[in-house]
Amino acid sequence: MSNWRQISLVLAMTMGISTFASSQVHTLIASTETVLPGASVTAIVTLDNDEGARGFSMGLAHPGTFLTLTAIDAGTAT
C-alpha cells in the first residue's frame, strides 16, 4: 500500500472518529462546598447530556480517610 493511501486512510478514520466523538455533548457539574473538619456536607453532582445516559461512573481521589461517603440519592430524569 502506498504512503499516500496509508495517510489518506488514517486521516479518514481520524475524521470519522472525531466527528462521532464531538457530536456527543456531556456536561458534568459539581457544586462548590466548604465545610469544617468533622462536619457533614452535601455536594450536588449533575450529569447533563443530549441523549439518554445508559450509565456513568465517577471517581473522587482523596488521601485516606479525608472523606466518608454516607449516601447517594438518585436525581430526577429531565
Question: Residue 2: inside a domain, yes or no?
Answer: no
**What pLDDT, on the 0 to 100 scale, is given for residue 49?**
74
Cβ burial of 73 (10 Å; 0-12, 13-18, 19+) is exposed
Question: Residue 63: inside a domain, yes or no?
Answer: yes
Question: Element (H or E) spanning 3, and its range?
Answer: helix 3-22
Question: Residue 35: inside a domain, yes or no?
Answer: yes
Question: Residue 13: inside a domain, yes or no?
Answer: no
Q: Which domain holds residue 54?
A: 24-78
**What pLDDT, on the 0 to 100 scale, is given for residue 7?**
67
Question: Residue 5: inside a domain, yes or no?
Answer: no
**What pLDDT, on the 0 to 100 scale, is given for residue 24?**
67
Question: Residue 32: inside a domain, yes or no?
Answer: yes
Question: Residue 71: inside a domain, yes or no?
Answer: yes
Segments in the chain below pLDDT 70? 1-24, 52-54, 56, 77-78
Q: Please tell me the pTM assigned to this model.
A: 0.48
**How many domains would you assign to the chain?**
1
The answer for residues whose C-beta is within 8 angstroms of residue 70's C-beta and 6 or more apart is 40
* CA distances, 14 to each of 9, 18, 27, 37 (Å): 9, 6, 24, 48
CA angle 27, 47, 26 (to 5 degrees): 30
